Amino acid sequence: MKLNKYTVDDINFAGKKVLCRCDFNVPLKDGVITNDNRITAALPTIKKIIADGGQLILCSHLGKPKNGPEEKFSLAPVAVRLSELLGKDVVFANDDEVVGANAKAAVAAMKDGDVVLLQNTRFRKEETKNLEPFSSELASLAEVFVMDAFGSAHRAHCSTVGVTDHIKCTAVGYLMQKEIDYLGNAVEAPVRPFVAILGGAKVADKLNVISNLLEKCDTLIIGGGMAYTFAKAQGKAIGTSLVDDTKLDYCNEMIKKAEDLGKKLLLPIDTVCTKSFPDPIDAPIDTEVYAAGEIPEDCMGLDIGPKTRELYAEAVKSAKTVVWNGPMGVFENPILAEGTIAVAKALAETDATTIIGGGDSAAAVVNLGFADKMSHISTGGGASLEYLEGKVLPGIAAIADKD
């Protein structure tokens, strides 16, 4: 399923008004941006459009405003940071209704190469329900729509999908194209051996991902909190470890599915355990290592053990494609981060194409200093998971296909 969408390289934007959906959902503290990665990730697409001489209108959501406009979710700080990064003035159209008097006046006054940033799209209640009249109001500002917010591509909102009912000239930006190339095509047509690594806390979050990846990969590695549900499904002792008792049958089905398909399914063989969860999460804590399935009644598993780290690192060595989604343990605690570090290190040292599927695993790779060693780190948590499930993402489907 190789996707063939129009991209920003297929369009000359000179003299055109362009609405570009970005992901500026950045962390803020007291009105100050604490991490601008999502803004810098959008710069290649922004620079291409303004270099062409396009008149660029940017939109994004930020946070989850519940009852319409909330000052703490304003995109004003993003406009300031964008102005600094671009070395030119980015006009911030501060309208509670997003497409209001300020936005209309700013857009009407635009010259080629100018940039306007609209207010938080979620200030409009129609946004998340993909309802009119917001979609047509957004679309009325422009003649071209560029989708470059992969992190929102799994949501059919006014600013990701609705506008394409009214704007027929559409394309994906560089960030979206990279996600499609790496995540989509790696899963659909991987260079083998293809190893998939799934971690994180909940089996439920990754139900369909496990099933879909078993059909695509050669080896599936399971770590993190969901490993204990697999262990319990096999009748092993897991102490007070996290478990989803409603998914025990499913885990056994996946073990059988791997056998039937002739795929390797690797589960932890030893576990780093503690008597209680660290509080605060990064507090010093005493640990013991037990064989998987032999965890004492008063202990909980919070990371993969040293033998499992070796097993998983060895499995990655011969891989040509690796997709990793979800940490191996409570990586926020330095004592319980060893498993996640071992996997990140193994990926950093392999010649394989290495794809990190967003969310906690992306945060772990960045925080642990391995980001520059990975082929691709996805910008979408939920979106990358749904893509790995084999789902069609509405924000991608809405963009025009090349003939």
Residue stretches of the annotated binding site = 23-25, 38, 61-64, 122, 155, 206, 301, 332, 358-361
Residue 81 annotated as catalytic: no
> Which residues does 395 contact at the CB level (< 8 Å), separation at least 6?
21, 147, 149, 150, 152, 153, 154, 155, 156, 160, 161, 383
User: Alpha-carbon distance 158 to 167, whole Å?
Assistant: 12
Residue 223 annotated as catalytic: no
Residue 202 annotated as catalytic: yes
C-beta of residue 330 within 8 angstroms of C-beta of residue 278: yes
- Could you tell me which residues are annotated as the binding site for (2R)-3-phosphoglycerate? 38, 122, 155
C-beta of residue 137 within 8 angstroms of C-beta of residue 96: no
User: Alpha-carbon distance 117 to 86, whole Å?
Assistant: 13
Residue 21 annotated as catalytic: no
Of the candidates 53, 113, 382, 390, the residue annotated as catalytic is 382
Closest of 249, 260, 251, 207 to residue 230, by C-alpha: 251
Alpha-carbon separation of residue 44 from 85, 88, 112, 220, 290 (angstroms): 11, 15, 18, 34, 49
C-beta of residue 311 within 8 angstroms of C-beta of residue 266: yes
Of the candidates 178, 202, 236, 345, the residue annotated as catalytic is 202
Alpha-carbon separation of residue 317 from 119, 129, 320, 349 (angstroms): 47, 45, 9, 8
Sheet holding 17-21, edge to edge: 90-93, 115-118, 55-59, 17-21, 144-147, 169-172
Of the candidates 16, 17, 38, 232, the residue annotated as catalytic is 38
C-beta of residue 398 within 8 angstroms of C-beta of residue 4: no
Closest of 358, 355, 352, 360 to residue 376, by C-alpha: 355
Phi and psi of 341, rounded to 5°?
-60, -45
Length of the chain: 403
C-beta of residue 198 within 8 angstroms of C-beta of residue 242: no
User: Alpha-carbon distance 303 to 288, whole Å?
Assistant: 11
C-beta of residue 215 within 8 angstroms of C-beta of residue 241: no
- Could you tell me which residues are annotated as the binding site for substrate? 23-25, 38, 61-64, 122, 155
DSSP at 183:
I
Query: What number of CA atoms fall less than 13 Å from residue 66's CA on the CB side?
Result: 0
Of the candidates 54, 359, 380, 381, the residue annotated as catalytic is 359
Closest of 330, 349, 348 to residue 340, by C-alpha: 330
Catalytically active residues, by annotation: 38, 202, 359, 382
